[in-house]
Amino acid sequence: AVLIGDSVRGQLGFTGLPTLAFDEIATVTDPDVEFSIVFPFLGAGGGESALDTANLSGNSIDIFSDLGADIIATPAFFWKFSDLDWVGNTPGIITGVTLTSGPAVDVANIGWTDNSITIDFNEYFNPPQVRNWSFDIQTQHSVPDNGPTLIMLGLTFLGIPYARKKLAGPTTAAKL
């Protein structure tokens, strides 16, 4: 099962602020989808931009943050991905999300539902210019239950000889 053909929503916001810095819906056409946002001129000198990128694939999320050289602090922020519906013959649900690389001290919380993921990051002072985090998405995929169909098919096959006898009428011995 993959996310191809699905519409995925990516959001980036700052904890405690009512509006989102980024809110976009993208249709997945490749095995993954990328969301990017540039925060212009966030540096103390006014000429440095910050870039945050999240790359979501069927079983992982990679988040890249380039704060620029002049950033001295960042507020707490979050990335949220929703409407994650695996398409294909085996639909799936999210059963867990695990940080696999990157500074764990920056990650305040990882939350998920059947079809969404929220990753909360702590505020930090004097951060390194570039940070990367990778997360593994655990899913459970189900195969459609064919039990009732097989039972009905079996009963149909069992009923065919009976129906043939009934349609053929009484046997010759019964007629005598």
Length of the chain: 176
pTM of the model: 0.70
Whether 132 contacts 60, CB under 8 Å? no
Sign of CA dihedral 83, 84, 90, 93: negative
Least confident of 28-37, 41-50, 61-70, 118-127: 41-50
Highest mean pLDDT among 11-25, 55-69, 111-125: 111-125
pLDDT for the residue 85: 74
- How far does the chain reach from its first CA to its final CA, in angstroms? 65
pLDDT in tens, 69-125: 666 777 888 889 888 876 666 677 889 999 999 999 999 999 999 888 999 998 877
At 1, the pLDDT band (50, 70, 90 cuts) reads very low
